[in-house]
């Protein structure tokens, strides 16, 4: 079963539409995971709930590795030949400008974020529930693997 799923996944990534769907689904999973993991702390500490964060993250998350790579390559190239490093850094700047403009544009909407503060006890309670479901989920996966083997 695992081989056929991997084959289908690799086949999906080989065509452009499948690759786009793969990037989109990976960005969505990463975004939702990060939001779930940090939301109680953000609501307690900052008292703001971003309504547009999932959409913004999906639009910019795929660019982060490329921007980081361009920044790294530009620094390394600048050690060898400074003008080359500066030229390469412009690629990173393009990516950074894209990220900044997307964030600014979505942040300009009146509905982009709402004020929502939670007390410390609720934050700890939400994290307790989250940890409980992570533990239960990992136990279920272990049982499923044992039953497949």
Written as one string, the DSSP assignment of 87-138 is HHHHHHHHHHHHHHHHHHHHHTSTTSEEE----HHHHHHHHHHHHHHHHHHH
Q: What is the pLDDT of residue 6?
A: 47
Band of pLDDT at residue 81, cut at 50, 70 and 90: very high
Residue 62: Cβ-neighbour burial (10 angstroms; 0-12, 13-18, 19+): middle
Q: What is the pLDDT of residue 146?
A: 72
Q: What is the pLDDT of residue 4?
A: 42
Six-digit token string for 135: 């533990």
Per-residue pLDDT tens over the stretch 97-147: 999 999 999 999 999 999 999 999 999 999 999 999 888 877 777 777 777
For residues 89 and 4, which has the higher predicted lDDT (pLDDT)? 89
Per-residue pLDDT tens over the stretch 20-74: 788 788 888 888 998 999 999 999 999 999 999 999 998 998 899 999 999 999 9
Q: What is the pLDDT of residue 9?
A: 53
């Amino acid at each position: 079963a695992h081989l056929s799923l991997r084959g289908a996944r690799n086949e999906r990534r080989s065509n452009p539409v499948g690759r786009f769907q793969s990037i989109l689904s990976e960005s969505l999973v990463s975004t939702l995971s990060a939001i779930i993991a940090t939301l109680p702390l953000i609501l307690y500490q900052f008292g703001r709930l971003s309504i547009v964060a999932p959409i913004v993250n999906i639009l910019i998350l795929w660019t982060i590795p490329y921007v980081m790579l361009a920044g790294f390559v530009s620094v390394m190239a600048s050690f060898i030949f400074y003008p080359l490093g500066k030229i390469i850094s412009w690629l990173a700047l393009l990516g950074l400008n894209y990220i900044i403009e997307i964030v600014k544009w979505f942040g300009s909407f009146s509905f982009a974020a709402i004020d929502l503060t939670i007390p410390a006890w609720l934050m700890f309670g939400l994290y307790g529930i989250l940890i409980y479901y992570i533990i239960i989920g990992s136990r279920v996966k272990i049982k499923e693997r044992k039953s497949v083997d």
